[in-house]
Amino acid sequence: MTNAASGLPFDDIRNLLKDLPAADADAAGACRARDAQLTKPPGALGRLEELAAWLCAWQGRHPPKAERVVVAVFAGNHGVVDQGVTAYPQEVPRQMVANFQTDGAAVNQICKTFGLGLKVFELALEKPTRDITRAAALEEAECAATMAYGMEATEGCDILCIGEMGIGNTTIAAALALALFGGTAEDWVGPGTGVDGEGLKRKADAVSRAVALHRAHLADPLEVLRRLGGRELAAMAGAVLAARLQRIPVIIDGYVATAAAAVLWALRPDALAHCVAGHLSAEPAHRRLLEKLGLRPVLDLGMRLGEGSGAAMAAGIVKAAADLHTGMATFESAGVANKSG
């Protein structure tokens, strides 16, 4: 896609994307060298070995750190709910934010299990974005400012997990995916929170009409985000970008979080090299979107909850990968015979 200049707010984002840090090959090499000496056959820990090297490459250090893992959940509301695309009302995000704050949500329990931090970002829930079938969701300055706000999520963490809470946002994710990758609305919509067959038709119709309305502006991925996206998606995109700039590995949650990250991929295809997909959501189009981005999920548990739950589950695996790499003995230190040369 081409990146037509669109004004000063987005120019700031484009400038950040021009000079992204690369993976640290020396740190990754040191990880692989130690891995070859650990008390196990080569490759015996499968993808866990890859995850340890990935952490080292993007943290720029060996051994990897997984002490301060933060799950950032961004909550937003969407005007497209007026099109009958969801089974739940717009009061739910505010109620769920309160549930997060009182330790009552699934993600709270997952974070407790694995010793993860949880940050919840409430994004003007009293003011839904405009209905994307009738107008642009956000103004450019508002979208850029929300991306900048999302960048604050990286403070004080070794690994960042991104997730969301937003009624109607699987419709938004489908609209972003259609605008960025083409196809038909039916390719990208799914049941979300559990809409029936008629609801699914309304979702596809809303996505089709929204993309048609904004088509003249969709050559620019940032315009795609601000016209068809939402506050929580803009904030997640900002968080992923800030993490790259600060060498913080990212675990992406489900379909909506992946759609937010896809905007950065469309701007610069290597922009997500510091990311892994936490899981494969049960939302049908998530697999297709991950394939477009070249991301392989860590887990496939049939989850479709959102709220960062899949990324948080995957974080437990990533923490285990780091601890295995750092804590296992080498053949020499354990006095175990290595394979013969």
**Does an H or E element contain 152, and which?**
none
Distance between CA 270 and CA 230 in Å, rounded?
Answer: 23
The answer to whether residue 307 is catalytic is: yes
Question: Helix (H, G, I), strand (E, B), or coil: what is residue 45?
Answer: coil
Task: Pick the catalytic residue from 122, 140, 283, 307.
Answer: 307
CB 339 within 8 A of CB 37: no
Identity of the residue numbered 137: A
CB 316 within 8 A of CB 301: no
Question: Residue 159: beta bridge partners?
Answer: 69
Distance between CA 283 and CA 193 in Å, rounded?
Answer: 10
List Cβ neighbours of 294 (8 Å cut-off, separation of 6 or more).
none
Neighbours of 328 (CB within 10 A): 16
Order of strands, sheet of 159-165, starting from the edge strand that comes earlier in the sequence: 117-122, 69-75, 159-165, 250-252, 275-279, 297-299
Residue 141, CA distances (Å) to 118, 144, 147, 171, 277 in order:
28, 5, 10, 23, 29
Neighbours of 112 (CB within 10 A): 11
Known catalytic residues are: 307
